[in-house]
Structure 1
Amino acid sequence: MDGQSRKHRILMVSDFFFPNFGGVESHIYYLSQCLLKLGHKVVVMTHAYGKRSGVRYVTGGLKVYYVPWRPFLMQNTLPTLFMTFPIIRTILIREKISVVHGHQAFSTMCHEALMHARTMGYKVVFTDHSLYGFADVGSIHMNKVLQFTLADIDQAICVSHTSKENTVLRSGISPEKVFMVPNAVDSAMFTPSPDRLSCDEIIIVVISRLVYRKGADLLVEVIPEVCRLFPKVRFIVGGDGPKRVRLEEMREKFSLQDRVEMLGAVPHAQVRSVLISGHIFLNSSLTEAFCIAILEAASCGLLTVSTRVGGVPEVLPDGMIVLAEPDPEDMVRAIRQAIDILPGIDPQIMHRRMKKLYSWDDVAKRTEIVYDRAVHSSNTNLLDRLPRYLTCGAWAGKLFCLVMIINYLVWCLLEFLQPAEGIEEVPDIGPLHIHLDSADDQCEPQGT
């Protein structure tokens, strides 16, 4: 490569992207922006969100295909296997893509795009952002789907070492193919308050989706006990979800209206202003591969109290986080410890440490290496790839082989009906600097 990194043409695919908010959405957005700055071409493909359909350009000239599919369940499109092939094939050819990068094991569009891309001979990379179990019905089915997708993958990425171990166990992929590339934080956006807050009243901030997986039920038990033990503690809870009703009921039951402020959904532009109004950030997740919200809070100078789950212990060094088991009693103990050490925390020092530890530019450069490895992996034809699927199980392996054979025949039919030469390629243009003023078109991803 003549001592220089190869320039790639990347298609990011996931059901989770702006205007939906979350860790996966933030990862795709910030990674794409940094890859664009490094000279790569990046295009994002996701499903339509409300009126947002068709091709859009967002900040930095990032091109997004909002294909005309509607979410079916939890922001995921309905699995169709082969129905998405025509539009994915058209995008791959039009944009002259060289690497297809799918995100999130729960994304239907991600799995289908990787399957079609492999059938067409493209290099594919997959990033797993979540942890899953092995015993419940949902995890068993999800793990089998992941096994199918990763049976014929070029490279994979996980956001923590714990996530890597989990993905290798669930999918059976070779550990040599899996890289650990963490999330990061936009330290220029998440800065501490210039004025140090008084500790006369200690404010604990929670910003999270109020769902079971994020430990909303734990909050229902922890908050009243902390308020009883520490009269000078107040809570600010940002976020929405099905468990919000339980928190509202808890606040009414214990008469904590003046101690627990419920903000509802917090727009990304206001996340920092909420964080810097507090002293401690509380994360009660029951499962977490990484948790970008912890990085954002630490970058704003907040001391973090978090459950000891998944990859969370890897995120922050000692002195910046207090860990607890996902148990109400132990979480109250951790909050007590955090309150005791809070006077020794300097938000500005914490912010400077976070700036050195986590950078999206570093994430992009590490991802570049994964793309280089993928591009230089050997090409295989359908007959060489089918034995890989047979290893996925006695009956599942045969079913996966049948799916790939049918997918190959669909590709041949598409090539006959609409030859690749007849699809107009998009001309390359330089980086765009587009400023979107309307509320509908502003690209403001949220990492909570």
Structure 2
Amino acid sequence: MKILILNWRDVKHPRAGGADYRLQHVYAPLTRQGHEVILYSCAFPGCDAEDHIDGIEVHRLGNDVTFAFLCMLKLRSWVKKHQPDVVVEDLNKLPFYSPLVYKGPLVIQMHHLWRKSIFREAFFPVALLVWLSEEMIRLVYRKCRFSVVSESTKRELEQMGVAPECIKTIYNGADLSRYQPIEGEKEPYIIWIGRIQKYKGVLDACEVLERLLPDFPKLKLIIVGDGPYKSRLEEYIERRGLQKKIRLTGFISEEEKISLLQRAAVHLQSSYKEGWGLSVIEANACGCPVVANNTTGLCDSVVDGESGLLYDYCNLDDAANKVKSILSHSELQVRLIENGFRRAAEFSWDRNSREMIEYLEQVIQESV
């Protein structure tokens, strides 16, 4: 099978995020099975126009402003050049409106919808543009086949007018050969992982730490990741005098991330909105108890009271109490670790790739 993919960024892009790494995890294994995967993505300073990443043929062009327009202009010529069996549009930022240009087998891959939450993240003109672009799903994408990462995202699409039978839920996975627990006592720190953006709730994680320090004076917070909200985060840390209590790692290797997860007392996932919450399953696999915001995506990846604890939406007192209960009760900690490890075993990238290729084959057959 030949698969042509449109996505804003590939994994070598300096601002690559979870959606981009997921794409690599899902489609790279397919190339080792004899399938051909061609990815068109946005260029960045110093990049090669053409590349190969773990079997995926990558073509880069344009920039953050022009890439979507170039996709609309050039998709027909790309299809003519490559003759793909199916086209996949990864709709994780602004859409490319591929259904207006391409009428063959098409799958729209979606992680989550912003909806009104975008007004919490971006300035009004940008937020309005994103909101309006999502409204176009009702007109342009409503009859397309979708692949989504959670039941939450599926429900959001159904609310946008997409028929349930047009949506396939394929959960994210984890590399269970690498993400594994280790022996030994947990260290007194909370780990937060993600791109440092406002909607990820990173300042909420800092506030949760402050609520816990009177009872746990040795507790620290390690923030893994980078992003456009980092300067605001650094200002907050300095203003609150938390320099010795909060460590910012920036981007680190996967091996370093795994090591931090294995030794952390708690993984706090404070995002206001997610498609799934990949770090939750990675923490489960590493034997790290999870406390997460009760919001879309995270309510799918966390089985509340079993594989982790959900706190009331954006209620930081409740979040602090949930973390405190884990730190104070070893029996709860052990139960969450054991259940979380079993939960993680249900998800793997191999399974994800297998389900994706089966779905692509189904879409191709339906279009014949």
**TM-score of the aligned structures, taking structure 2 as reference length:** 0.87
Does residue 367 of structure 2 align to residue 367 of structure 1?
A: no
Highest relative contact order (Cα 8 Å, sep 6+), 1 or 2?
A: 1
Matched, 1:15 2:8: yes
Give the partner amino acid of 2:149.
Answer: V
Alignment correspondent of 1:144: 135
- Out of 11, 23, 40, the residue aligned to residue 45 of structure 1 is 40
The change in CA–CA distance for 1:273 and 1:139 in structure 2 (over 3 A counts) is same
Partner of 1:117: 102
Paired residue for 2:308? 321
Find the aligned partners of 2:175 and 2:343 in 1 and give their Cα distance.
10
Give ranges in structure 2 of 5+ residues lacking alignment.
120-127
How far has the Cα of 1:208 moved from its partner?
Answer: 1.7
- Per the TM alignment, residue 233 of structure 1 is displaced from its structure 2 partner at its CA by 1.6
Mapped pair 1:331 → 2:324: no
Q: Distance in 2 between matches of 1:245 and 1:51?
A: 25
Counterpart of 2:154 in structure 1 is 164
Q: 1:220 to 1:280 in 2, by over 3 A?
A: closer
Larger Rg over CA atoms: 1
**Alignment correspondent of 1:106:** 93
Equivalent AA in structure 2 for residue 175 of structure 1? P
Query: What are the equivalent positions in structure 2 for 1:29-40 lying under 5 Å apart?
Result: 29-40=24-35
Contact 1:282 1:306 in 2 (8 A): yes
Alpha-carbon offset, residue 139 of structure 1: 5.3
Give the TM-score of the pair, scaled to structure 1. 0.72
Q: Give the alignment of 1:7-406 within 5 angstroms.
A: 8-20=1-13, 21-59=16-54, 61-66=55-60, 68-72=61-65, 77=66, 79-80=68-69, 83-85=70-72, 87-108=74-95, 111-118=96-103, 122-134=104-116, 137-138=128-129, 140-153=131-144, 155-170=145-160, 172-193=161-182, 195-198=183-186, 201-317=187-303, 318-325=305-312, 326-342=314-330, 344-345=333-334, 349=338, 353-354=342-343, 356-378=345-367
Task: Summarize deviations over 1:225-273 as a string: whole Å, max 9, x none.
Answer: 1122312322111222343334333433443333222222334453223
| C-alpha contact 2:308 2:336 (8 A) present in aligned 1 | no
Aligned partner letter, 1:165: R
Provide closer, same or farther for how the CA distance between residues 114 and 271 of structure 1 changes in structure 2, counting only shifts above 3 A: farther
Q: Distance in 1 between matches of 2:188 and 2:233?
A: 20
Once the two structures are superposed, the pairs formed by residues 431-446 of structure 1 within 5 Å of their partners are none
Cα distance between partner residues in 2 of 1:38 and 1:254:
53
Contact 1:159 1:180 in 2 (8 A): yes
Once the two structures are TM-superposed, the CA of residue 27 in structure 1 deviates from its matched residue by 1.4
Structure 1 residues 38 and 128 mapped into 2: Cα distance closer, same or farther (>3 Å)?
A: same
1:284, CA displacement in angstroms?
0.6
Aligned partner of residue 263 in structure 2, secondary structure: coil
- Following superposition, the deviation at residue 351 of structure 1 comes to 7.4
Alignment deviations for residues 302-325 of structure 1 (CA, whole Å, 9 cap, x no partner): 111110000212213343211112
Q: CA deviation at 1:293?
A: 1.5
AA aligned to 1:148 is L
Shift of 1:132: 2.3
Post-superposition offset of 1:89? 2.9
Query: How much has 1:174 moved relative to structure 2?
Result: 1.3
Which residues of structure 1 form unaligned runs of 5+?
1-7, 380-448
List per-residue Cα deviations over 1:349-407 (Å, max 9, x = no partner). Answer: 5675255310112112222232122112246xxxxxxxxxxxxxxxxxxxxxxxxxxxx
For residues 215 and 236 of structure 2, the distance between their equivalents in structure 1, rounded to whole angstroms, comes to: 16
Percent identity reads 20
SS at match of 1:377: helix
- Separation (CA, whole Å) in 2 of partners of 1:43 and 1:34: 13
Quote the residue 1:421 is aligned against: none
